[in-house]
Amino acid sequence: MDDRWILSRRQLLKTMAASGALAAADLAWWEEPLVRPRRAWGAAPVRFQFSVPEPKRTALVESLAQRFNQSQTDFEVKVEFVPQAQARQKLIAGIAANNPPDCCQVWDNWVGEFEGMGAVEDLTSRVRDWKYYKDVTPIAWQTVTLKGKILSFPWVVTNDGVYWRTDRAAEYGIKPPQDDWTWDEFMATARAFTKPEKNQYGFGMRGQGTWAVLYATEFMYAGGAQVLRDGKVAINSKEAAEGLDWYLDLFRKHRVCPPSVPTDGWRGIVEGFGRGITNMYIHNSGSSEEQKDFVGAKSFATVPLPLGPGRKRVSFYFSETLTGFKNAKNREGAWRFMSWCMDDEPKFMYCKTLGLLPSRKSLADRPEFTKDPAYQGFIKSFPFSIVSPYLAYAGWGGKLDSEGVPLFQQALVGKLTAKEFLEKFAEVLAKNMA
Amino acid sequence: MARSDATVAVALPRPLLSRRARELATGYLYLVPVAVCLGGTIVFPILKAMHMSLYNHVLFKPQEYGFVGLGNYARLLRDETFWLTLWNSFVWVFGSVALQFVGGFAAALLLHQSFRGRAFVRTVTLLPWIVPGVVVALVWEWLYQPNYGVINDVLLRLGWLRDRVAWLSDPGLAMPAVIATNVWRGVPFFAIMLLAGLQAIHDDLYEAARVDGASVTERFRHITLPLLRPIIIVATATRVIWTFNYADLIFVMTSGGPANATQITSTYTLVTAYTNLDFGYAATLSVVLLVIMLVFTVLYLRVTRGIESAT
């Protein structure tokens, strides 16, 4: 054999390194190659603010922006990554200083606040002529519609469900939760899952952050309560107090939750489950992909929230939006980028990578979502999902965090009764109905 | 007759400023850069905060922006959370500083002795002070973690605990837990300051006292303490002011929770400004913080000067 055709070890390593670099430059999940003709000079910049709750998203969004920049020659998206904790403040400061980004990604509960400042671009007429308008589920449009105006694109949507450990249920001989399970069954399952001697607890309740109050509210709704009734705050009703008492007692009385609950935020509940401390927790589909890495795809599943005493239940439906601003320097570029993100491939990849559900029916019907057990709890919750009642007033967004959560924590640690908490909370809501 | 070229002395015009005034002006001119820097970075922000405190300035409600006079101060008097945070600040500051001082003094006395490896121990003692506050907070948050934290694990293994303790989630334990962290961080500051003071005391004084038959306690009381007093005063005053304004540790470890159990006035100001985006009220809180600290400093210096002159 001719020696010239034999690869030395060094050549082999070089070839492997070169192919590795090429593969890294391309994106494994993308159908088309990354290398494309370069953009034309003079492409107008588009400032896109993206709030980052976890590092995984940074790479994903950076590659989406690159892909958009290479798909056309008119605009160049520049992503401004902001830690999630500072995103709202940074946006509001930008709006107040008349220097907002051209567009941003934010949760729907903030959009009202920006609209209250008169800062959000009204997309209604443009969206109605947009090619996928009818493909987006009506409830998704509801999350971004305020006073009849469509203010954002619902990029991805999700609702709440219960994550539970399938492997541990089998190990302890626990009856798997069914889609129509009740509060009593939820309690029985949580108790059976609780093994303090093994440092395992039945339910990872959230005690910090906005959603601590939202999850509790879902239980109040299952008990027949409502936040607003006939235009007035009604969260201090008897049904709400009973529902909340039942929920809080999971931690206070029945001790099926870990002791860290009052300071457990989003990271706390997700990690608690991932590390095997808790065997159930409530969250949206956003942590499903993470749990596949933590506990393994076969070791958990999701199920809808349990039915309350009157066989009622709700799951709050919300969206991660793409929102543009009136005073943006490049409104056309913002529109082009936002609508491009709603196209099949970018949207599919964003949703699938992060475990969130597409707001467009044609994509949500793909088997990657409908057949995955990790999504079942959420898909089956769609029929009784409602838009979060706290989206009703722009003034409620920030108050939930700054006043609602500390009050909720006081109820959690027994400094306030459920009724006292609800009276004070109702007062806060009533004061900020603007 | 030859003409002589006589020079006639011409009186110089009288300068606008006298020599003394010119010298004075030159001196002040040299100070202008510093004055501008201090004015721009200290005086202006304080005046701006005072100005803001008189306005209703909620960032996301620009239409409600306007002068409210002392309205924010009146609101502060009625604000239960503010009074709670003031009490929490008192516990936080005096709990932290007192324990830091005791620990720091003990460490300084120990490090003042000559023993093998003293340089290494001195360096190690300084470590908690070198580590950034946010990192300290994250590390201790993890140590305190009730479900998989090291502290619970060790105490359970030693049999000193029967159940896991939620150090940061229990309103009764959260404040002592964050104070303990702050003590850990602040001990080196006192240790180094006091050690420097100890090293400046001449051995002859101790020698003379020893010859006169003074006991260890008497030498400590009559030599060490009086000569360290100026350093103790400066270090304690500085630390009290720092701790009062120090928000990072609590903000990262508990965010002021649970149920405001660790909410101190500086974290409350931070939340008011950056969560509620209520800059008018946050400025009011800052002005009140400033006044409290000014009053404390004046009183503290007056009292300690009194003690000093008495001794």
Q: Which residues lie below 8 Å from residue A301, measured CB to CB, with a gap of 6+? A: A163, A164, A166, A176, A373, A374, A376, A377
Structure tokens at B249: 């540790």
Same domain for A337 and A265? no
Chain A residues closer than 8 Å to B168 by CB: 260, 263
Exposure class string for A355-378: b at 16+ Cβ within 10 A, else e? bbbbbbeebbeeeebeebebbbbb
pLDDT band at A21 (very low <50, low <70, confident <90, very high): low
The CATH number that applies at residue A403 is 3.40.190.10
Kindly list the residues from chain B whose CB atom is less than 8 angstroms away from the CB atom of residue A401. 275
Contact B165, B226 (CB under 8 A): no
Q: Please, which pLDDT band fits residue A31 given cuts at 50, 70 and 90?
A: very low
Question: Within a domain: residue A7?
Answer: yes
Q: Alpha carbon of A307 to those of A176, A179, A246: distances in Å?
A: 15, 9, 13
Cross-chain Cβ contact B275/A116 below 8 Å: no
Closest C-alpha among A258, A237, A257, A234 to residue A247:
A257
Q: Is A126 exposed, middle or buried (0-12, 13-18, 19+ CB in 10 A)?
A: middle
* A·B CB contacts under 8 A: 95
User: Which residues on B lie below 8 Å from A116 (Cβ)?
Assistant: 60-61
As beta bridge partners, residue A76 has: A45
- Let me know whether A342 and A414 are in one domain: no
Q: Select from B103, B93, B99 the least CA-distant residue to B240.
A: B93
Mean pLDDT value across chain B: 90
Q: Distance of CA B75 to CAs A116, B70, B71, B83, B97, Å?
A: 24, 9, 6, 12, 31
pLDDT for the residue numbered A24: 53
Whether A351 is in a domain gets the answer: yes
- Per-residue confidence (pLDDT) for residue B2, from 0 to 100: 52
Confidence label for B11 from pLDDT (cuts 50, 70 and 90): confident
Residue of B147, B164, B167, B268 to mutate, interface with A, max A Cβ within 10 Å: B147
| Of residues B165, B258, B263, nearest to A413 (C-beta) | B258
Q: Tell me: do A11 and A145 sit in the same domain.
A: yes
Give residue A400's pLDDT. 86
Residue A238 maps to a domain: yes
Q: What are phi and psi of A32, to 5 degrees?
A: -100, 155
Residues A305 and A357 in one domain: no
- Whether residue A396 lies inside any domain: the answer is yes
pLDDT given for residue B300 in this prediction: 84
Is residue A383, in this structure, part of any structural domain at all?
no
| A273-303 pLDDT per residue, tens | 999 999 999 999 989 989 999 999 999 999 9
- Judge if A100 and A55 occupy the same domain: yes
CA distance B157 to chain A (A): 13
Are A85 and A15 found together in one domain?
yes
Name the H helices within A165-228.
Answer: 166-172, 183-193, 210-222
The Cα A164–Cα A332 span in angstroms is: 45
Q: Which ranges in chain B belong to alpha helices (H)? A: 19-38, 44-52, 71-78, 80-112, 118-130, 133-144, 150-158, 171-199, 203-211, 216-219, 225-245, 248-253, 265-274, 279-310
Residues of chain A above pLDDT 70, percent? 91
- For strands A44-52 and A75-83, give the pairing: parallel
Closest CB from A93, A272, A406 relative to B59: A93
B252/B250 Cα distance (integer angstroms): 5
Residue B44: both structure tokens together: 């202006």
Q: If contacts are CB pairs under 8 Å, which of residues 62-121 in chain B contact chain A? A: 62
Same domain, A87 and A180: no
Q: What is the pLDDT of residues B151-182, one digit of tens each?
A: 999 999 999 988 889 899 888 999 999 999 99
Q: Is residue A102 part of a domain?
A: yes
Pairing between strand A103-107 and A44-52? parallel
Domain termination site, one of A328, A343, A374: A374
Measured between beta carbons, the chain B residues lying within 8 angstroms of A275 are: 147-148
Give me the number of domains chain A comprises. Answer: 2
A302 & A339 share domain: no
A49/B178 Cα distance (integer angstroms): 35
How open is the CA angle A176-A159-A386, to the nearest 5 degrees? 115
pLDDT of residue A28 exceeding 50, the answer is: no
pLDDT for residue A33: 44
Domain final position from A348, A374, A400:
A374
The pair of three-digit structure tokens given for residue A39, joined into one six-digit string: 């953009």
A133 and A86 both lie in a single domain:
yes
Give the pTM: 0.78
User: Which range, A19-23, B95-99, B206-210, B239-243, is most confident?
Assistant: B95-99
Q: What is the dihedral of CA A334, A335, A337, A338, to 10 degrees?
A: 110
Task: State yes or no: cis peptide before B258, omega within 30 of 0.
Answer: yes
Residues 213-272, chain B, touching A (beta carbon < 8 A)? 254-260, 263, 271-272
Q: Let me know if residue A382 belongs to a domain.
A: no
- Report the distance separating Cα A33 and Cα A180, nearest Å: 46
A220 assigned to some structural domain: yes
- Which of A374, A399, A417 is a domain's end point? A374
A308 and A187 within one domain: yes
Q: Which of A189, A214, A192, A351 is nearest to A269 (CA)?
A: A214
Q: Report the half-sphere exposure of B183 (CA within 13 A, side-chain side).
A: 19
What domain range is A21 assigned to? 2-158+318-374
Q: For this complex, say whether ipTM is above 0.90.
A: no
Main-chain phi, psi angles of A280, to 5 degrees: -150, 150
In a shared domain, residues A15 and A31: yes
* Predicted confidence (pLDDT) at residue A252 exceeds the cutoff of 50: yes
**Which burial class, exposed, middle or buried, applies to B294 when counting CB atoms under 10 A from its CB (0-12, 13-18, 19+)?**
exposed
Please give the helix or strand (H or E) that residue A234 lies within, else none: none
Q: Clarify whether residues A349 and A218 are in a common domain.
A: no
How confident is the model over B76-97, as a mean pLDDT?
95
